[in-house]
Structure 1
Amino acid sequence: MRLRTVLATATVALAAATCLSAAGTATADADTGTNSSAAHACSPSVSIDRFSDALDKTTYDGTFVGNFSALAVDKDGSLAALEDRSSLFDLDAKTLAPKRVVQLADENGAALDSEGLVIDRDGTRLITSETEPSIRRYSADGKILDRLPVPSSLLVAPAGRATTNQTFEGLTLLPGGRTLLASMEYAISGDSTGIVRFQTWNRTKGDHWRLGAQYAYRTDEAILGVPEVQALPDGRLLVLERGFTSGVGNTVRLFLADPRHATDTSGIENLTGQAGVRLIKKTLLTDIATCPSLGATAKQPQPNPLLDNIEGMVVTGHDKDRFKVLLVSDDNQNTAQTTRFYYLTVKPGH
């Protein structure tokens, strides 16, 4: 989603732990041994291992590399990176070097405002566009295979109650692969500000999808939106919240959320704090502004020079209670912003 001016907290960053060996293309020191753990800590639950600006303001096969809105791990272990301007890249998981790019379009050949990405078990790509909004199934080469139903209330006005550029941003498959979940970025008309709806779909025969339950999530501040969600193996979610204030910079916070006991709100027209509605429970894991900057530089004011417009997230692996999580920023093809990848270790706890 394009940058939107919202209030942000100006948190002073911790001292830099390591430095880039060369601006723009190098990555910060990836040492995560015992001696560096404290220096890399963002919070008791999250540490930053390194970051990379290697793809910032580059091109591949005539296509600008940037505007990233979502990430996914493909079946061969490579990294899929979705641009919000209809390009889907395959990246080398270790070097981030682009290996292929596929151009996406709707049924009429028009570009998407593509925001959310899931790679299904058969290799097909489930991709949201926040224009309508929509979720379409694509083959690996970009052919449309199917389109999922969307509740009328979540459609952009006047067809529904959503606002343009504030719809389906996050997308994830829940454990077992039978349930798909999409997060709206902001509240729809008639709901309280800060209440964001998470919509699910259930898999049917032939890998089609029917509408499932819907849940309500409250952002940490009314002016923050939800750009991404990712499911953990136990059914809990990692949720990103993000905002921007001109002259101050970005606010990006990572939460652990549990939808498993939340109320199904699909039959509730207006969510205004009524009794009996159980929201998705959430716990703050970290504010990214508290991470050590690792020698990062910013092209515009930021509470921490490490920060940018972080929009994509994927869990790349885990060992017991430790998860490797990769974030990416959307540079909006703007010279004042950076395409940056963030390598985190997250311990969500029980």
Structure 2
Amino acid sequence: MRLTSLLATFGLATAACLTTAAGPATAQPARPAQPGQACSPSLSISSFSDALDKTTYDGTFVGNLSALAVDRHGDIAALSDRSALFTLNRDTLSPTTVTPLADETGTALDSEGLAIDRDGTRLISSETEPAVRRYDRDGRILDRLPVPAALQVTPAGRATANQTFEGLTFLPGRHTLLAGMEGSLTGDTTGIVRFQTWDRTRTDAFRLAAQYGYRTDTGLNVSETTATPDGRLLVLERGFTPGVGNTIRLYVADLSRATNTTAVETLTGGQADVRLAKKTLLADLVNCPTLGATAKQPQPNPLLDNIEGMTVTGHRHGRLNLLLVSDDNQNAVQTTRLYSLTTRLPKP
């Protein structure tokens, strides 16, 4: 199936047939799209599915999903932050393979970001060090990309543990890779995070390239960065308030006029010579219709959960089809939920 049509009918038909390869037979089928399911003038939701929630595949828990990507065969790669990479069937979105992951010493990863290269290798970020490693399809490490000293976790650098590379994506053409930091560096103003890029060399390696600043909304962090076909970025901002629930907002960001902040030691947002990435709100997902969803803990909209992963599954006539996934943290009061959405981006 071509990328432009992949999952375009997820919310209309195929998702309703989503089944679970293993696990309890309590899966909730996706709800078909109905007219007026707009979350905002720019974004609408067609369906959701909880069919993977609290299931297993080949002895591996299908949850903790933190990233999604489309592979070269059109299937969906789904990354668990517990060192596992699943392949989901492009039509049913049920698991078909699982590959264990580890670092160079065999230690489990806190794997958060995923990008798939043109030769099928997987680039996976771990937010522990942080690190970006390249893996073959069998989960063997091919190499490891350089990371700026400042982005390392303290005391080696200025990053906070569990607040590093949360998003990973190739820009169009796959010549540039981008990783989005979840939280701010020590010394930078709270809420301003850094996006690091690498450029592909003639020997097919990756070298450090430009870095950019991005300001999140108050109290929110970056949970995913995904490139659009025109070279901009979709940025998921996420927050959680106990007793209230999740805040999930989707922005489109433009780096074209942003300053390369590689040599800027501290970002305050007030420097006259530093331009942060420009961002435009596509939707606050609290405004989406519930589609009959239920929540296991308080939420401002029962459709919401801890959404961490996102990929573009198709595009046509200026509209992008998106697939999102929530990370249940293997927690009884959270849900592994897949969401199918469509957005029309504003003009650059």
Amino acid corresponding to residue 244 of structure 1 in structure 2: F
Residue 275 (structure 1) aligns with:
272
Find the residue that maps to 1:199 and give its secondary structure: strand
Contact preservation (8 Å) 1:321, 1:349:
no
| Cα distance between partner residues in 2 of 1:43 and 1:160 | 40
- The one of 213, 226, 231 equivalent to 1:230 is 226
1:97 corresponds in structure 2 to 94
Structure 2 equivalent of residue 76 of structure 1: 73
Amino acid at match of 2:226: Q
Work out whether residues 54 and 96 of structure 1, in 8 Å CA contact, stay in contact via their aligned partners in 2. Answer: no
Letter in 2 for 1:249: G
The answer for unaligned runs of 5 or more in structure 1 is 1-19
* Residues 25 and 53, structure 1, Cα contact 8 Å, conserved in 2: yes
For residue 205 of structure 1, give the secondary structure of its aligned residue in structure 2. coil
Deviation readout 1:184-218 (Å, 9 max, x if unpaired): 00100000000000000000123210000000000
1:25 counterpart = 2:22: no
Given the alignment of the two structures, is residue 245 of structure 1 paired with residue 241 of structure 2, yes or no?
A: yes
Q: Give the superposition deviation at 1:88.
A: 0.1
Instruction: Write the letter of the residue equivalent to 1:171.
Output: L
- Distance in 2 between the 1:282 and 1:139 partners? 34
1:86 aligns with 2:83: yes
Identity %: 68
Q: Deviations over 1:55-77 (max 9, x none)?
A: 00000000000000000001111
1:201 equivalent in alignment to 2:203: no
Shift of 1:23: 6.6
Q: Distance in 2 between matches of 1:54 and 1:94?
A: 14
Q: How many residues are treated as equivalent by the alignment?
A: 324
Equivalent residue of 1:289, what SS? helix
**What is the Cα deviation at residue 235 of structure 1?**
1.0
Instruction: Return the offset for 1:175.
Output: 1.1
Report whether the alignment pairs 1:339 with 2:330.
Answer: no
User: Is 1:143 aligned to 2:140, yes or no?
Assistant: yes
Q: Aligned AA for 1:281?
A: K
**1:215 corresponds to which residue?**
212
Aligned-residue offset at 1:93:
1.6
TM-score (norm 2): 0.91
Give the structure-1-normalised TM-score.
0.91
- Which residues in structure 2 correspond to 1:1-350 (within 5 Å)? 24-31=27-34, 36=35, 38=36, 40-221=37-218, 223-272=219-268, 273-350=270-347
Higher alpha-carbon deviation: 199-208 or 96-105: 199-208
Give the residue type in structure 2 aligned to 1:27.
Answer: A
Q: Which amino acid aligns with 2:331?
A: N
SS of 1:126's equivalent? strand
Unaligned runs of 5+ in 2: 1-15, 18-24
Could you tell me which amino acid in structure 2 is paired with residue 220 of structure 1?
D
Contact 2:165 2:180 in 1 (8 A): yes
Is contact 1:239-1:257 (8 Å) kept? yes
Q: Please state whether the residue corresponding to 1:153 is helix, strand or coil.
A: helix
Moved over 6 A (4+): 20-23
Within 2, Cα distance between the matches of 1:124 and 1:207?
Answer: 12
Query: Following the alignment from structure 1 to structure 2, what is the Cα–Cα distance between the partners of residues 321 and 153?
Result: 38
Q: Deviations 1:228-251 (Å, cap 9, x if unpaired)?
A: 011111111110000000000000
Q: Deviations over 1:152-200 (max 9, x none)?
A: 0000000000000000000110111110000000100000000000000
User: Helix, strand or coil: the match of 1:346?
Assistant: strand
Q: Which string of whole-angstrom CA distances, capped at 9 and with x for unpartnered residues, describes residues 115-139 of structure 1? A: 0000100000000000000000000
SS in 2 for 1:262: coil
Partner of 2:8: none
Match of 2:203, SS state, is helix
How far apart, CA to CA, are the structure 2 residues paired with 1:70 and 1:341? Answer: 11
Whole-Å separation in 2 of the counterparts to 1:104 and 1:206:
25
Q: SS in structure 2 opposite 1:265?
A: coil
- Give the whole-Å Cα distance in 2 for the aligned partners of 1:172 and 1:113: 17
RMSD over equivalenced CA pairs, Å: 1.3
Secondary structure of the residue aligned to 1:137 is strand
